Amino acid sequence: MKKGIILSLGLGLILLTFLLISGQQSGASPDERVLAGENCTVIMVGKKASADGSTMTTHTADCGICDWTWRYVPPADHKPGSTRKIYRISQMRTWPPSEGLKWDLIKKDFTGVEIPEAPHTFGYMHGVFGYMNDQQLAIGESTIGNRPKMSNPTQTPAFNITMLTLLAMERCRTAREAIRLMGSLAEKYGYGGEDGGEMLAVADPEEVWVFEIMPVGPLWTPDSGKPGALWCAQRVPDDQVSVCPNESRIGEIDLNNPDFFMASPNVISYAVENGYWDPKSGQPFSWKKAYSPAEGNAKDQPRRARMWRFFDLVSPSSKFSPSLPNMNFPFSVRPDRPLSVKDVMEMTRDKGYGTFFDPTRGIRGGPYKNPNYDSAARLISVRNAEYTTVTQCRGWLPAAIGGIVWLSWGAQDTACYMPFYAGTKALPPSFSVGDHWVFNRQSARWAFDYVDFHAQVAYSVAIEEIKRAREKWEDGALNQIPDIDRKALELYQKNQAKALEFLTAFSVSNAEAVVKAWWQLGDDLLVKFNHLSYYNSERRTVDRRKMDFPEAWKKAVRIIDIIFE
């Protein structure tokens, strides 16, 4: 009788959970369903909120099926009258390696629009988006969505978010310049296509800005005389930090304060015309409430947990509640202590351990406490990342030395950040090749997926091996940076070209050494934990007891057996 009651209760809970989830999904707007798969968390740190005075941004490319390749585009001088072609560059689309590299094949999708070329374009590094140029302009991205009627999936808009970031990298020195350029191009030539509401963290050595842009509906044409995009930007105060977890972050705006706000001319009128805000309501205009409302909170909707978790990490003294609606979190906050670049790296790896959203609570993580089994909560660290970036802009150094992109391939928890200076003139060849469907030992990314794959089997023991490797290579690079800075600056003051060669050699050689080390680490994990046994290569012994399942897991299995007997 007791077993029957327990079984009925268990099945009832399962059915109730299913109905609740189904109800939430059926009530979601089309945009909400799209955003349900997004995990691009952007962290932003003002220069007075950082431990060393640098500004910082992050980006997690979370697609799971997208092109992951990176390349370097050198600076160039252009003849008067030359033009720059604008291409439709899908964030998602890839081609089989046999057909060629994405960044060659995108030229087949010319929009028909050409704009005047700049006399000089800057060198920069990019993946899905432009991340840093040789002037220390840095960018991170997060999809935020928009009201469904605003989307413009037609071929009329010439610009999408990727193309805008590349133009900013080519032409701009500062965050403000980049925002004005991207906004004006989108207004004139239209914004949309596959992209909807997007957020960019745009930074230089002095400032960090949140730039948000959205389409204006499928009926827009260049002949309409109206802007082909909506955009708004808000500056993060120098002593504060902010986050964008795929949700619009800009609320009430003050266009009379240009030191902190910028926007397109239709920023308010479009909302009035389309019934998204009534000036007679007595309510102040809010950008996010008008164009990209995101109702819910972390407690009721764990997929919204990233907002709460970020504020909980940087300002635990504020005691933000998981029940606080995400729309009510502040735009930014002063951190309890200044953040180092290492702090930010660790934040990108956060799995919510020790919180209500801990994916290893109870038996969720299996016998080896694998945080990647439970996907109920959307956490900052995700298992399907293409790569993650942390950018630093440091104003006390020349731009070529002051800017650094820290790049980590694949899932953050099993990877390693590698530094690339803004003055770097090349990337390792292994960065430009590879895709998800063809295993390739010539592709750097596969080295990290190789380690990640072997780590999933016995996570709690494998992750300790990975941490030790990361201490050697990631912490080793962090410790080297002051010395590399000093040597590069000495060279720069005598011969700038030699300084750039030095920075390139360090960045590339370090990355190649890390990639080689991760291939070896993958081999070692395969051997060491083969057959869920502990193989000691040095002693040539096997110890199965070290890999035995914990007692808590065994008890949980026995209880489940009793329930379903």
Contacts of 28-36 spanning 24+ positions with Cβ under 8 A: 29/148, 30/148, 31/145, 31/146, 31/147, 31/148, 31/196, 31/197, 31/292, 32/145, 34/145, 34/196, 35/143, 35/144, 35/145, 35/246, 36/303
Task: Give a yes or no: residue 167 inside a domain.
Answer: yes
Q: In what order do the strands lie in the sheet with 404-409?
A: 241-245, 41-45, 55-61, 387-393, 404-409, 418-421
Query: Which tokens sit at 300?
Result: 């009721």
Task: Give a yes or no: residue 430 inside a domain.
Answer: no
374-411-469 Cα angle (round to 5): 115
DSSP 149: G
Task: Give a yes or no: residue 70 inside a domain.
Answer: yes
Please give the backbone phi and psi of residue 348, each rounded to the nearest 5 degrees, phi first.
-70, -20
Query: Which tokens sit at 418?
Result: 């590698």
Do 8 and 565 meet the contact criterion of CB atoms below 8 Å apart? no
Helix (H) or strand (E) holding 8: helix 2-26
Residues with Cβ within 8 Å of 62's Cβ and at least 6 positions away in sequence, in order, are 38, 39, 40, 382, 384, 385, 386
Please give the backbone phi and psi of residue 172, each rounded to the nearest 5 degrees, phi first.
-120, 145
Helices 341-348 and 459-494 sit at what angle, rounded to 10 degrees? Answer: 140
Q: Which domain holds residue 278?
A: 37-396
Task: Give a yes or no: residue 389 inside a domain.
Answer: yes
**Which residue shows structure tokens 């962090």?**
478
Neighbours of 354 (CB within 10 A): 9
Strands 230-236 and 130-133: unpaired
Burial class (CB in 10 A: 0-12, 13-18, 19+), 23: exposed
HSE-up (13 A, CA, CB side) for residue 14 = 6
Task: Give a yes or no: residue 336 inside a domain.
Answer: yes
Residues with Cβ within 8 Å of 8's Cβ and at least 6 positions away in sequence, in order, are none
Please give the backbone phi and psi of residue 535, each rounded to the nearest 5 degrees, phi first.
-95, 115
CA distance 380 to 129: 20
Helix (H) or strand (E) holding 209: strand 208-214
Render each residue's pLDDT in the chain as its tens digit; 565 residues.
344 434 333 433 333 333 333 333 333 343 554 555 567 999 999 999 999 999 999 999 998 899 999 999 999 999 999 999 999 999 989 999 999 999 999 999 999 999 999 999 999 999 999 999 999 999 999 999 999 999 999 999 999 999 999 999 999 999 999 999 999 999 999 999 999 999 999 999 999 999 999 999 999 999 999 999 999 999 999 999 999 999 999 999 999 999 999 999 999 999 999 999 999 999 999 999 999 999 999 999 999 999 999 999 999 999 999 999 999 999 999 999 999 999 999 999 999 999 999 999 988 899 999 999 977 889 999 998 999 999 999 999 999 999 999 999 999 999 999 999 999 999 999 999 999 999 999 999 999 999 999 999 999 999 999 999 999 999 999 999 999 999 999 999 999 999 999 999 999 999 999 999 999 999 999 999 999 999 999 899 998 888 888 888 888 888 888 888 7
Task: Give a yes or no: residue 486 inside a domain.
Answer: no
How many structural domains compose the chain?
Answer: 1
Task: Give a yes or no: residue 251 inside a domain.
Answer: yes
Task: Give a yes or no: residue 473 inside a domain.
Answer: no
